[in-house]
A and B are shown apart, each in its own frame.
Chain A
Amino acid sequence: MINSYGFRKLKNRLFFVLCAVCVVIAVVPLASILFEVAIRGAPQLSITFLTANASKGGIGHAIQGTLIIVGLTSIIGIPIGILSGVYLSEFGNNRYTQSLRTINNMLTQFPSIIVGITAYALIFNILGSSKWAFSTLTGAVALSFIMIPIITRTTEESLKLVPNTLREASLALGAHKWRTTLSVVLPTTKTGLITGILLAVARVAGETAPLIMTIQGSRYFFRGLNGRIAALPLEIWTNSLQPYPEAQAQGWGAALILIIIVLTLNIAVRLASRRE
């Protein structure tokens, strides 16, 4: 006969083991990717590799490209995203708001290759020539289509957490609604906003598909908003398709750098939200 206490202890054990196994299954691929990338990428790292362009065997142009394109995307995406979130949370008290919110949530999950094609078609039709269609600008527009819905949503969600009593306190002092939003509501949720922005930046920094359709990659440093430009994800992609071992090795190096950038952003998110 089974001792019931012993049996329950056994069940407890079993459950614990099962959970542990699942954790291992989830973590092993992730850890092995990190490990593999670090092992293969690290030997590539050198000053030249980080600063020179493709013709000298470096990925400096891709790092620069990623910084420029993510910066441009942020310039377009952050203000629009935050203002849209503010609108939905503070001013969107009408019957259109719910559908706007649904569409926005849908856009956060939108297939990014389609976003790329859309940006291409948009710029092509607005500027009326294919000269601008494959360009830095088009890439930034595409990435901001990805960034805006994310920031809109995180902004709205963090504004919703601000207690209404604070809005009322400000309005009761005779402050206008816009002033209340700007000086009372937004500062109260500053860390929420920063977290949303950093997450969105990390997300677009790693996007590849929309860039294939827009900036197309380049072997050189930045050549103007209407020119093609390199970016780390594209650099990894093109290098990995090459038959040459040196090119593949460069791809590993670029992958390591991209992972470091995205990880750093995520750690920054953790630090920012911990302060709250």
Chain B
Amino acid sequence: MATILEMRGITKEFPGVKALDTVNLSVEEGEIHALVGENGAGKSTLMKVLSGVYPHGSYSGDIVYDGEVQAFRNIADSERQGIIIIHQELALVPLLSIAENIFLGNERAERGIIDWRETNRRATELLARVGLAERPETRVDDIGLGKQQLVEIAKALSKNVRLLILDEPTSSLNETDSEKLLELLMEFRRKGITSILISHKLNEISKVADTITVLRDGSAVSRLDCSSGISEGDIIRDMVGRSLEDRYPPRAPEIGGVILEVRDWTVHHPIHADRKVVDGVSFNVRRGEVLGFAGLMGAGRTELAMSLFGRSWGRDISGQALIDGAPADLSTVRRAVNAGLAYATEDRKTYGLVLDDTIRRNVPLANLEAIADTMVVDRHKEAEVAERYRKRLAIKCSSIEQETVNLSGGNQQKVVLAKWLFADPDILILDEPTRGIDVGAKFEIYTVIRDLAMAGKAIIVISSEMPELLGITDRICVMNEGRLVGEMATAEASQERIMSTIIRSTGDRR
């Protein structure tokens, strides 16, 4: 096999931060090359250097692609060479159709006039190649995240991709969709397309990767060849610099009385008012308990949580919420917070952070009173608080004065968590709390969750990673198509049992 790409001695600095320090990366033609490392290790940055997001001259070192030193000035330059990157955050235009998105900036047109027949024909072809059976005229916001990811790949294919870069493509996909995507990558390998895959899901990596490069603190610390078989433990050791004995902290739950009880909660879609997105859900959670919510994407878990939390989602919300046995007023976010509720979102960019603001200003945002003396913010207390959470959650940054927009994905997630931990709720709802977070940091977050539960708080964890739910919860509620379809003690639960609960319930309403 020939070497298709060699990055030599890449160094990239931001003001105050050396994100990459003489990194070498070499990728063989036709392989799946995995890039792993802790949050903030520099994975995304390295790929942005490769794809011309950071233009030639803004970094030092050489990119040798196809045997030639390349000097990409922008993404268009690298795309012309067949290097296509799919970023951590998807970049589709939600109001345009699948076909329009695929050919955006690259329209099938003659003298500026779009040939729709050709567009749709080619789109159908590409969709078939990625195994998507949607009509090309379908609007992108009408299909799920998993399918959107496939549309991104179809878009890459339309540009004659030779080197496909995927930055955490499966972080917001459920297991079935992830599986499908990985299959597709393996099929591409058979066709000679090279891929670079960034992921924190090590089981996926060990399944599909041919070679793994591990980044730590901006340096490439090792290169593992997978042909001889490699264990997740080996990868972890290189990533964090020590071996991790357990994935989940040991727990000894002390479960008290019911603190939150929800009865017959029903929520309608904000636009399609006749659609019930949450349908008569009843559940309770006790002090000191960690309650998990399992389900597929679109099961209505986020919608349930957001509608409970100050009616932040949906319309025509009905049902009852009792806190400590008394009806609770959760009608606005403020009231919900005062009642002791908190909700840490899964969508950090849209709902979680004020991106242009610093860590220092984001952390106390939900609990400004605590750092203020009758309306006047005490900036020293504020800095102290931000500093405390930076240490506690090991947020990797140049200082608490760094703007959150410049943090790595996983570290942004930690800032959102910090914000809600500081609000000191009695009932904490965590929506995909470890999305995009590395193994080491996951363990720390699990420990935080455990300690909160030990302190008598109730924690609700919504997660699409079943092993995680099985590892850290006491009880699991299973949701499907907006309804609660099962509930089991974690001790008696298994992935199979959860899956079969979901499958059995699918469609039995119709």
The answer to whether A binds B is no
